[in-house]
Amino acid sequence: MIADRIANGFSPFVIPFLLGMAFVIGYCIVGMVRIFLQLPGEDRKKFLVSLITPATIWKNVRDLFLDCLFHVKLWKRKALLGYMHSSIAFGWFMLIVLGHIEVALFLPHRLKTFYYPIFFNYFVAEEGRTLKGSVFFFLMDFFLLVVLSGIILAMIKRIRSRWFGMRRTTKLTAVDTIGLYSLWLIFPLRLLAEGFTAHISGGSFLTMPVNWVVQHVFSSPGFFDNNLHMLPTWWAYSIDLAVFMCVLPFSRYMHIPAEMMLIPLRNAGLKIRNARKGFAKAEVYSCPSCGVCIDACPMTVKKANVNYSTVYLNRQIRRGNEEKIEEIADKCLMCGKCSTVCQIGVQGPELRVAQRAVRKYAVPGDFSSVNTVPLTLSAGQGTGNVAYFAGCMTALTPGISRGVESLLKKSGVDYKFLDRDGGLCCGRPMLLAGRLKEANQIMAKNREIILSSGCDTLLVSCPICYKVFKENYDLEAAGVKVVHHSVYFESLASSGKLRIEHDLLNLVFHDPCELGRGSGIYEQPRNLLALAGNLVGAAQEKQMSICCGGSLGSLTLNFQQREDLTRNALKNLCADVPDIIVTACPLCRSTLRRYADRPVLDIAEVVDRFAVTGGLERSA
Amino acid sequence: MIDFGFQKAKSSTVNLDNVDMRLYYALAEKEPDIKRCMECGSCTAACTSGPFNGMSLRQVIHGLQRGTDVRQMVSGCMLCGKCSMVCPRGINTRHLLLTISRIYTK
Ligand code: SF4
Ligand code: SF4
Ligand code: SF4
Ligand code: SF4
């Protein structure tokens, strides 16, 4: 049986641990309450309701396990990285849980002491060899081994990050470094401490050999007469835990408690409304500085831009460094790749838009003088339920709208061209600049024009327009379906209204950020292209595709800086030696063309080349 | 005076002594790009807003160099970015416009 070894169940070495624990719990409770209070009223209500809704409760529990303990997303990325993180998180979790179970089973009267499960092996003695405890001894050693293996991998990762699928890791702050070393030390110290007491408390395959070594090294007579020699290692273990818990709130390890708050907030469906408060704060503090977003960010092809990746935005927001926050907020392309790869789901672009939105402009945008009457009048004329909105950027690349018009004619679609003689901007660039009031003015005018056309399908060529029409115009409610031309012509082709002859050209598809990651459209353009030619792959594509560098999301990247990004995107696209680079965005097309060594065309132009006049329906 | 059937045009000489350049210099410090502009007018030709509200970045830049008030014109920019796509001098026109919008002290 296992029994108390220390009659009063206390030893002063637990004090550092208790103080550290009290500090960290107090800090986190205050932090959580503050985040909650910073939420706007309706968000607060939404959050509370979600906490008692069975579906979200289940989702919260599942996400807490899958994300915080098992790091499923990292596993999918790179198994070794996933193992490293989950072995530490899950192993530690199991040590704590098993510690509590041990106390509950063997010494239930000690359950109310906070420290017993942590320092169990110090306080107990095994009386007679029973099998009862040995399962636990084995499990405890097993999970300790799991954690230790993770720690060893973490050490290797500091030197050989490439083995873990990462080219660059984050630079640590001073506090992070203290946190890192104290975390690494916790488990070897625990092993040592338990090794010193294993002949009394019992142990298993890890602690017993350590105990054997200890007994032999310190075998001078009288050393084991009292048990005082055990104390130094237990003190060290407790102090190290205390150090870790004291630096935790100021280091990246804050992500451990913060993520527990973030998951329910996210599952409640909250959105970022302020870059510093409430939900955004939970996101920022949940970032463990894993650095995965650094390699993902297209800006980092230039070394200097590493500091503008999302991990450093989070760090600067935590520090409150206004100047840096502004700079980082303005540089980003808003391509969304960091959010895609982030295990926590930190919304890099949304955080930045929220930050941009607090800026004051002495000259506000004013579009009241824009006269939309001629546009609404011409939109109202003609027949056809399909209204084509080429977008202002397409005006610089008229080949695209020519291709679209030609394809519409070939498939016998009756349409009207809303902005043949020029139209307004869709408002998304203004939105991305954080100027919501201005964007709303533009959007209201455009909406009026679109609705006056009486169409039921709004065909667009620009993914930037597509995204904002879908998300901010509320057109579906007015009975207007928004569709991008790549999707539209794919459906015409599959229904036989458009016939395309196959050619032997090798085509690669560049996913425009707003169409791919922004709107989740990856397959239709590829299906359509496969009809016209031989589709080849890019080195990174679909969710992982690389922004062309022309994005209007960035406010400060200049022409010269963008060149490197574009060249990098082109290199990525030419991995399989395509004959033609195909995209589905006027801005990508213009940008890529600037430095490409082979033709860059829009999908409408390419398909139009191989589309046969008169599809099945018309020849029938 | 003999009537030649035409008149001398009003002088279009610009007297720079009478021009208040403070705003332009303040701007050029923040946004040195502006000094690279050669006033070719490509931005204006490509402008989305121009046909609707008379927005012309070339005129804005010119106006700043001549000390005139460009606020009303600047307020008509939709930030669509076409000007930056066509500018032969590679000026980050959108950021320039945003900075102009911020530099006025109401
Ligand atoms: S933002 Fe996400 S990907 Fe980037 S360091 Fe933080 S957790 Fe990692
Ligand atoms: S949105 Fe794109 S450009 Fe911006 S930080 Fe994320 S990965 Fe980098
Ligand atoms: S296109 Fe560029 S160089 Fe030409 S006027 Fe406009 S800003 Fe100046
Ligand atoms: S960004 Fe402004 S100035 Fe430039 S083309 Fe668009 S509307 Fe005109």
Nearest residue of A to residue B87, measured between CA atoms = A559
pLDDT for the residue A222:
61
pLDDT for the residue A131:
57
From A365, A367, A555, residue closest to B95, measured CB to CB: A555
pLDDT for the residue A339:
95
Distance B56 CA to ligand 4 centre (A): 8
By the CB < 8 Å criterion, does A368 face chain B? no
* Residue A442 tokens, joined: 């533009």
pLDDT at A228 over 90: no
- Domain borders along chain B are 18-105
Q: Considering only residues 3 to 22 of chain B, which have any Cβ-Cβ distance to chain A shorter than 8 Å?
A: none
What kind and span of H or E run contains A607?
helix A603-610
* Domain end (from A447, A482, A517): A482
pLDDT for the residue A73:
84
- DSSP character for A268? T
pLDDT for the residue A153:
94
Q: How far apart are CA A36 and CA A38, in angstroms?
A: 5
The atom number, within ligand 2, closest to the CA of A352 reads: 4
What does the pLDDT average to over A348-362? 95
> Which ligand has the nearest atom to the CA of A349?
2
Determine whether the interchain pair A550/B85 forms a contact, defined as Cβ–Cβ distance below 8 Å.
yes
Q: How far apart are CA A344 and CA A353, in angstroms?
A: 19
- Can you give the CATH number for the domain in which A186 is found? 1.20.950
Ligand 3 and B91: CB distance under 6 A: yes
Ligand 3 atom 7 nearest Cα: B37
Q: Which of A10-19, A205-214, A473-482, A583-592 has the lowest mean pLDDT?
A: A205-214
Determine whether the interchain pair B79/A435 forms a contact, defined as Cβ–Cβ distance below 8 Å.
yes
Ligand 1 atom 7 nearest Cα: A287
Largest CA distance in chain B: 55
Largest CA distance in chain A: 106
pLDDT at A94 over 90: yes
List all residues 6 or more positions away from A206 whose beta carbon is below 8 Å from its beta carbon.
A141, A144, A145, A191
Same domain, A173 and A37: yes
Q: Are A376 and A449 in contact (CB under 8 A)?
A: yes
Q: How far apart are CA A520 and CA A484, in angstroms?
A: 12
Determine whether the interchain pair A366/B75 forms a contact, defined as Cβ–Cβ distance below 8 Å.
yes
Distance A543 CA to ligand 2 centre (A): 13
Ligand 2 atom 2 nearest Cα: A335
* Residue A8 tokens, joined: 């009063």
pLDDT band with cut points at 50, 70 and 90 for residue A111: confident
By the CB < 8 Å criterion, does A374 face chain B? no
pLDDT for the residue B8:
81
By the CB < 8 Å criterion, does A373 face chain B? no
- Please give the angle made by the CA atoms of A155, A156 and A162, to the nearest 5 degrees: 130
Among B34, B43, B104, CA closest to B77: B43
Give A343-396 as a DSSP string.
SS---HHHHHHHHHTT---SS----TT---HHHHHHHHSS--SEEEE--GGGGG
Mean confidence (pLDDT) of chain A: 92
pLDDT at A492 over 60: yes
By the CB < 8 Å criterion, does A595 face chain B? no
HEC assignment per residue over A455-506 = CCEEEECCHHHHHHHHHHCCCHHHCCEEEEHHHHHHHHHHCCCCEECCCCCE
List all residues 6 or more positions away from A273 whose beta carbon is below 8 Å from its beta carbon.
A40, A43, A279, A280, A354
Ligand 1 and A487: CB distance under 6 A: no
Number of domains in chain A: 4
- Can you give the CATH number for the domain in which A571 is found? 3.40.50.1860
Q: How far apart are CA A561 and CA A305, in angstroms?
A: 10
Determine whether the interchain pair A363/B52 forms a contact, defined as Cβ–Cβ distance below 8 Å.
no
Share of chain A above pLDDT 90, in %: 76
Give A117-166 as a DSSP string.
TTSHHHHEEE-S--STTHHHHHHHHHHHHHHHHHHHHHHHHHH-GGGGT-
Superfamily assignment of B18-105 in CATH? Alpha-helical ferredoxin (1.10.1060.10)
pLDDT for the residue A132:
59
pLDDT at A128 over 70: no
* Domain end (from A458, A482, A506): A482
Residue A249 belongs to some domain of the structure? yes
pLDDT at A220 over 70: no
Same domain, A402 and A500: no
What does the pLDDT average to over A23-52? 95
How far A433 CA sits from the closest chain B CA (Å)? 8
* Residue A114 tokens, joined: 């906070």
Q: How far apart are CA A104 and CA A101, in angstroms?
A: 5
**Which residues in chain B have their CB less than 8 angstroms from residue A557's CB?**
92
Q: Considering only residues 26 to 65 of chain B, which have any Cβ-Cβ distance to chain A shorter than 8 Å?
A: 33, 46, 48-49, 51-53
Q: How far apart are CA A558 and CA A304, in angstroms?
A: 14
What kind and span of H or E run contains A507?
strand A506-509
How far A368 CA sits from the closest chain B CA (Å)? 9
- Can you give the CATH number for the domain in which A457 is found? 3.40.50
Model confidence pLDDT, tens digit, residues A241-253: 999 999 999 999 9
What does the pLDDT average to over A167-195? 92
Q: How far apart are CA A583 and CA A563, in angstroms?
A: 18
Residue A8 belongs to some domain of the structure? no
Q: A361-381 burial, b if ≥16 CB within 10 A, otherwise e?
A: bebebbbeebebeebbebbee
CA distance to A65, A86, A126, A158, per residue, from A69 (Å): 5, 6, 32, 22
Same domain, A183 and A215: yes
Ligand 4 atom 4 nearest Cα: B83
Determine whether the interchain pair A362/B106 forms a contact, defined as Cβ–Cβ distance below 8 Å.
yes
How far A576 CA sits from the closest chain B CA (Å)? 29
Residue A267 belongs to some domain of the structure? no
The residue ranking higher by pLDDT, B13 or A261, is A261
pLDDT at A618 over 60: no
pLDDT for the residue A614:
53
Q: Are A464 and A515 in contact (CB under 8 A)?
A: no
Query: In this complex, how many residue pairs, one in chain A and one in chain B, have their CB atoms less than 8 Å apart?
Result: 101
Same domain, A518 and A612: yes
Nearest residue of B to residue A553, measured between CA atoms = B81
Q: Side by side, which strands form the sheet with A534-536?
A: A534-536, A506-509, A580-583, A600-602
Beta strand pairing call for A2-4 and A124-126: antiparallel
Q: Which of A198-202, A217-221, A263-267 has the lowest mean pLDDT?
A: A217-221
Instruction: Give the torsion sign (CA, B10, B11, B17, B20).
Output: positive
Q: Are A327 and A509 in contact (CB under 8 A)?
A: no
What does the pLDDT average to over B59-72? 93
How far B64 CA sits from the closest chain A CA (Å)? 15
* Domain end (from A357, A378, A413): A357
Ligand 2 and A553: CB distance under 6 A: no
Q: How far apart are CA B97 and CA A252, in angstroms?
A: 38
Q: Considering only residues 394 to 433 of chain A, which have any Cβ-Cβ distance to chain B shorter than 8 Å?
A: 395-396, 422-425, 427, 429-430, 433
By the CB < 8 Å criterion, does B75 face chain A? yes
pLDDT at A226 over 70: no
How far A384 CA sits from the closest chain B CA (Å)? 26
Strand partners for A388: A417, A459
**Is the pTM for the entire model greater than 0.80?**
yes
pLDDT at A491 over 70: yes
Q: Which of A214-218, A238-242, A504-508 has the lowest mean pLDDT?
A: A214-218
- Please give the angle made by the CA atoms of A603, A609 and A613, to the nearest 5 degrees: 115
Same domain, A222 and A312: no
Same domain, A565 and A439: no
Model confidence pLDDT, tens digit, residues A278-291: 999 999 999 999 88
pLDDT for the residue A342:
92
Ligand 4 atom 2 nearest Cα: B77
By the CB < 8 Å criterion, does A260 face chain B? no
Q: Which residues constitute the domain of residue A303?
A: 276-357
What does the pLDDT average to over A433-444? 96
Percent of chain B as helix, strand, coil, to the nearest 5 = 50, 0, 50
Same domain, A214 and A80: yes
Rg of chain B taking only CA atoms, in angstroms: 16
The single-letter code of the amino acid at A404 is: V
What does the pLDDT average to over B43-52? 95
Q: Are A285 and A336 in contact (CB under 8 A)?
A: no
Model confidence pLDDT, tens digit, residues A467-482: 999 999 999 999 999 9
Write down the H helix ranges in A39-108: 41-51, 54-63, 72-77, 79-106
pLDDT band with cut points at 50, 70 and 90 for residue A615: very low
Same domain, A405 and A337: no
What does the pLDDT average to over B16-21? 84
Same domain, A68 and A115: yes
Ligand 3 and B34: CB distance under 6 A: no
Same domain, A244 and A374: no
List all residues 6 or more positions away from A5 whose beta carbon is below 8 Å from its beta carbon.
A122, A123, A124, A125, A200, A201
What does the pLDDT average to over A523-539? 96
pLDDT band with cut points at 50, 70 and 90 for residue A392: very high
Q: Are A338 and A310 in contact (CB under 8 A)?
A: yes
